[in-house]
Structure formats: structure tokens, C-alpha cells
Homo-oligomer: A and B are copies of this chain.
């Protein structure tokens, strides 16, 4: 078992709990504690937005209410995940210290309100958050109920105030060694007379000013990442000092691109994220949502290569989409099992009890405004609590993956920011396609970025790797050289990490040699427009959309498929180039899923990987967790229909978990699942 700073001993089942909204209704709080038991809860996240309750006037504190709650939590054997309150501020603070308020990219300072509305640099705010965190650590650091620190809430956004401008310039000075010439070169500022004479002339990107220097745009996002990390670390100082044994996390938003989440991972004791898939929008959308959810689970697991927490989820409704549907009966349990299957060690809810007012009052919660436990939602949560209780042997266990999909944050910034190609770009959508093709083989898949070591994998898919950050090209070559199968696509290796185009041909940095070809031109298709590819092997035809790169394979590079249409009909569309012990596949277009499924199956077979079911039926998710002694196979049915599958011979001796019956043919009802222990 891997060594980790932090490992849970049981699955955490809990919710954001805001007793500070109910202090004037003690009966409600009594009821809360009564209902924790039937709900099967063992944890509560407290204090996320409680600053105004902690410090209603400047330096006048009130913790009596929390003292009581903490004590009652301890009595109830509940784990408290205690939040630092920096996500929102009391009004008095913004009024007295307006420097805290964020300034937009249009250079207009916000007014007080909502949340996530603070300057990352504000010296006052940094001091003040440290101060309140210190008080919390001093007061509750040794409290038996304290289980974990939850830093702030869903960090996001950016500030363009003068303090941030200065910090950005200082950050640039450091990155570019105080050398304007270097900065001008990397940002390619000879275009449009954009050269800067001094760092003092630089301002953050803005639609009111400069926003077409892509190198600057990228550096701004990197700076915001470091600023966010720096703020996070500043929050942690008193906690690390006073409570060195209490683990720290912050809850990330799934695909929020404001900052590069990967850069924060090393500073977390455990990753956690807020998971809100869009269920109930139809059969296909449920299957897509399952892919997207598992992708995120796999990513958060891969960021530290250890289990993670689902820090928020809804037991029923979301309230911020255009159409907010109920979770269908059974879907809650299924999606909980999916999270666990992909490496989660917790299921937590936003929130325990619906608030009475403001924007989130109609968001799902364990307890409705109605207040009693005889609701469908409470009953489903209760069943999940019971289930998790029976599954404790799995808690904290590992995941072993032989395949990885590379989805790189900075590459995503660069792709979205480029001018050209087509809109929408479909980077994430394409990554999902490759991820899905791998997942349908029933193998665990890591979701990695350009900095992740590749040694443990046998298959790495790196679609649309437009930007090559330092070292990645070399690592990909080594990966293939050592026998790995690498999958690249159109649009690969065009710019360096500062968005400067490579000279000498694409894909650059030695990838032309690795792929055995040169990519010369990028043609694109409209939405709904298609070309086709024909396989060399069997003349089968598959649709291809969105991108059709024109590639020129070198001698020895095998052409697996050709375009059938347009002026490049007959030219290579998919190739395979042997590279020492391994191979590099290059997919110059965006073929339909079915082709990717087949291709990845062939690749896995080339790699000698044993597939339990070949290509899984659409909508079936299979993931495996491993303890020191057992493997748990989670087979989950998101297809919206019942599914029957034979038991493969490798699992003939497995048993159904947690019931411990012998496994037979697998029959999954709609939204059903089965766990096999082997």
C-alpha cells in the first residue's frame, strides 16, 4: 500500500452543515442531530461562509455557537471538516477596506457582495484571513471533532487592481530574469509594434486594451495560478503551525479553467472536488454525464495518485442550470458507487438542510424545507449511508492504471486562446472521446497533464497536444521507445510553452520523427459537416468531423486509414509509426467514436492487455480498486436500460460484494450496479 500523509479509515458520508443559519430556531438544530443517524452521516463540513457569524463587527468575535456545535458533533462521533471562511466577507470589512474588492479586467472595482470577490494580493485580506484561521486553529485545533481543514471554498476568479498589476509585473520580472529582450522574444512582441520597453509598461490582459499577445495571456493565467496558490498557502500558515496533523484540502470546481488546479495538488493533503454531473437529461446525456463524471474523478485521483474526496454533490436537484431535473430514483446510489469505484473515499452533500433564502434555497439537500425524513431524497441518502457502511474494506484503497489520457490545463488555455482553426475547438470533447474509448475496454485510466511521469503506462493518449511544455516531447519519445503506445492527433506540437510557433515543421520537438510524418495544413469542417476515412486493413468506412489535417507520412510510417473525400481524398488520415520498442499513432482527423473504440482495442491487444469483455456495451462503466489483498470490480449501468453480461473466466471465482455470494452471469437493471471481489 502506498505511503500517504493521509488515509481514511472509513468512507466519509456527510454534508455542508450551516447551523449558523438556524441559531434562532433551536428546534431545527435538535432535529438536525436527531436526523444524522437515520441519514447515515459520519461527517459535517462547517463554517464555510461563517465569517460574519464569527466576527460580526471588527475584532468582536463570537464562537459560542460553534463551540456548542463542535461539542455536540464530538458527542455524536461525527467528523467535522472545518472551513476557513475566506470565501465571503462581512459587509463591514469591504466598507472599511475596499482594497479587498476585486477589480475586473475592465478595471472597474466590484461592489460588496456575492462571494469570490476579493483581491488575491490585498495585504489586509491576507493578514485578516491568517488571523481568523489562527483563531480557528487555536480554538478548535485540539477539538476531538476536528477531522480536516477545508480551506475557503471553490477558489476562482482573478483581480486586476493596481496591487495585482504590480505583482504580475514582479512575477514577469522573475520569470524573465529581469530581461525585457527575453520577454519580448517569448511574447513575439515584434508583431504589431507590441514590444515593451520596460516591465512597467505591461498591464494585465483586457478587452479595453491588450488581449492578443497570447504569450502574455498565458503568463497571466500562470500568474493567477501562482497567486491563488500563494493565497492558499498564506491561509495555511497558522494551520500548518498549530495543527500539523490535521489534513488540509480545498474543494475544487470540476473543469474551472481560472487557474491550473494541478499546480496546487502538491500542497494538498488530499484532493477534493465538487461533483455536479448533469443527470436526467435523457439516455445519451446520462451516458455522457457518466463519462464526464468518471473523467473528473479519475483526474482528481491522478493529481496525487491517491484517493480523493467528493466534497460536494447533490442528493437530488441542482438549481443553477437552465433545466434543473430531479435525479431519477436509483441514480443517486449509482453515481455514489461510481465515485467510489473511481477512487473517492467520501460522498458529501451540498447541503444538509435547504436554506430558507437567497440564491441556493432551491438547491437539493438532504433535508427539505418540509423538514421530515419521509421524503424520497432522505430515503435515498439513507440507503447510501447504509451501503457505505457495508463497504468499509474498500475505503482508502488504491487504483492501478496502465493507460492514461493527457489533458493539459495550459494547453487548454492555449487552444482556447488561439486565433484560427474552428470554433468550438473541441479540445475537452476530443479528450473525452479518447478517454471513453479506453474506458470501454474496461481498464482503469489515469487523467494526467504534461508534467505527469509516464513510466507506469503502456498506453498514453495525448490528443490535440498543441502546446508542448518543457520536456514533454522528450518524455513522450522515451515512453514510446520503451514499448509504450502513444496516440497523437492533428494539431500537435505547434507551439512552445509561451505560445511561440515552432519552426521547421509540425509536430515539432522531435515528434515528426516519432510520428513518422509532417503535418502541413489544417483543414476544418463546419458543425454537421463530415469527411470519411477508409481503413487500409478492411476498407471499413468511418465518419470524421471538425478537423482534417493534411499529413505527409515518411517512409516506414504505416497508413492505417485514408481520407475518402475532398481534395485530400486518398491522403493519409491515420498512421502508425514504429518507434523502437513502441509505436506512435497519429490521427489526423476526428473520427467517430466507433473507430476510436476499435483502434484502442487493437492497441491494447498489441500491448498484450487482457480485456475482460472486449469493448463494453455503451453506458457500462467498469472500474477497479485494489486493496492489499483484493481487487474490487465495479460494474455500473448508466445505459438507461437493463443489461446482461457474461461473467468472464478471469472473474469466475469472484464474489459479489458486500453480499459475498458467488458471482454468476451479470444482470444489471437500469441504474443498477454490481461489485465483484476477486
Contact A523–B325 (Cβ < 8 Å): yes
Contact B111–A206 (Cβ < 8 Å): yes
- Please report the C-alpha to C-alpha distance between residue A419 and residue B422 in the assembled complex, in whole angstroms: 34
Instruction: Say whether A20 faces chain B, with CB atoms less than 8 Å apart.
Output: yes
- Of all chain B residues, the one with the shortest Cβ separation from A54 is B193
Contact A504–B371 (Cβ < 8 Å): yes
Contact flags A325-365 to B (C-beta < 8 A → 1, else 0): 11011000000000000000000000000111111111100
Instruction: Say whether A112 faces chain B, with CB atoms less than 8 Å apart.
Output: yes
- Please report the C-alpha to C-alpha distance between residue A506 and residue B644 in the assembled complex, in whole angstroms: 42
Interface residues of A in 306-340 (CB under 8 A from B): 316-317, 319-320, 322-326, 328-329
Instruction: Say whether A9 faces chain B, with CB atoms less than 8 Å apart.
Output: no
With A112-B209, A188-B358, A193-B50 as given contacts, are A369 and B502 in contact (CB-CB < 8 Å)? yes
Instruction: Say whether A91 faces chain B, with CB atoms less than 8 Å apart.
Output: yes
- Of all chain B residues, the one with the shortest Cβ separation from A363 is B420
Contact A209–B114 (Cβ < 8 Å): yes
Instruction: Say whether A418 faces chain B, with CB atoms less than 8 Å apart.
Output: yes
Contact A195–B52 (Cβ < 8 Å): yes
- Please report the C-alpha to C-alpha distance between residue A148 and residue B520 in the assembled complex, in whole angstroms: 34
Contact B209–A111 (Cβ < 8 Å): yes
Number of interface residues of A (CB under 8 A): 113
Instruction: Say whether A61 faces chain B, with CB atoms less than 8 Å apart.
Output: no
Output the least CB separation between A316 and chain B (Å): 7
Contact A188–B362 (Cβ < 8 Å): no
Interface of A is mostly: loop
- Please report the C-alpha to C-alpha distance between residue A568 and residue B208 in the assembled complex, in whole angstroms: 51
Instruction: Say whether A172 faces chain B, with CB atoms less than 8 Å apart.
Output: no
Output the least CB separation between A203 and chain B (Å): 6
- Please report the C-alpha to C-alpha distance between residue A49 and residue B24 in the assembled complex, in whole angstroms: 54
Contacts of A304 in B (CB 8 A): none
Output the least CB separation between A85 and chain B (Å): 7
- Please report the C-alpha to C-alpha distance between residue A375 and residue B188 in the assembled complex, in whole angstroms: 25
Contacts of A198 in B (CB 8 A): 92
Max chain B C-beta neighbours (<10 A), residue from A85, A196, A197: A197
Contacts of A369 in B (CB 8 A): 494, 501-506
Interface residues of A in 495-509 (CB under 8 A from B): 495, 498-506
Interface residues of A in 187-236 (CB under 8 A from B): 187-198, 200-203, 206, 208-215
- Of all chain B residues, the one with the shortest Cβ separation from A22 is B190
Q: Pick the residue among B18, B24, B501, B521 that contacts A326 (CB under 8 A).
A: B521
With A56-B197, A520-B368 as given contacts, are A112 and B203 in contact (CB-CB < 8 Å)? yes
Instruction: Say whether A113 faces chain B, with CB atoms less than 8 Å apart.
Output: yes
Output the least CB separation between A47 and chain B (Å): 10
Contacts of A494 in B (CB 8 A): 369
- Of all chain B residues, the one with the shortest Cβ separation from A422 is B323
Contacts of A106 in B (CB 8 A): 108
Contact A419–B360 (Cβ < 8 Å): yes
Copies in the complex: 3
Contacts of A362 in B (CB 8 A): 418-421
Contacts of A87 in B (CB 8 A): 192-193
Contact A501–B209 (Cβ < 8 Å): no
Output the least CB separation between A340 and chain B (Å): 24
- Of all chain B residues, the one with the shortest Cβ separation from A109 is B208
Instruction: Say whether A518 faces chain B, with CB atoms less than 8 Å apart.
Output: yes
Contact A356–B316 (Cβ < 8 Å): no
Instruction: Say whether A609 faces chain B, with CB atoms less than 8 Å apart.
Output: no
Interface residues of A in 375-433 (CB under 8 A from B): 375-377, 418-423
Contact B111–A501 (Cβ < 8 Å): no
Contact flags A542-570 to B (C-beta < 8 A → 1, else 0): 00000000100000000000000001000
- Please report the C-alpha to C-alpha distance between residue A212 and residue B117 in the assembled complex, in whole angstroms: 14
Contacts of A536 in B (CB 8 A): none
Contact A111–B203 (Cβ < 8 Å): yes
Contact flags A86-123 to B (C-beta < 8 A → 1, else 0): 01111110010000000010111011111101000000
Max chain B C-beta neighbours (<10 A), residue from A21, A113, A328, A522: A113
Contacts of A504 in B (CB 8 A): 369-371
- Please report the C-alpha to C-alpha distance between residue A97 and residue B346 in the assembled complex, in whole angstroms: 58
Q: Pick the residue among B18, B111, B190, B495 that contacts A190 (CB under 8 A).
A: B18
Contact B114–A190 (Cβ < 8 Å): no
Contact B192–A49 (Cβ < 8 Å): yes
Contact A210–B524 (Cβ < 8 Å): no
Which 4 interchain pairs have the tightest Cβ spacing? Answer: A188-B357, A111-B209, A113-B210, A362-B420
Could you pull out 19 A-B pairs where Cβ atoms are within 8 angstroms? A21-B191, A23-B190, A24-B185, A56-B197, A57-B197, A90-B195, A90-B197, A91-B197, A91-B202, A107-B111, A112-B209, A113-B209, A187-B357, A188-B356, A188-B358, A215-B358, A362-B421, A369-B501, A376-B520
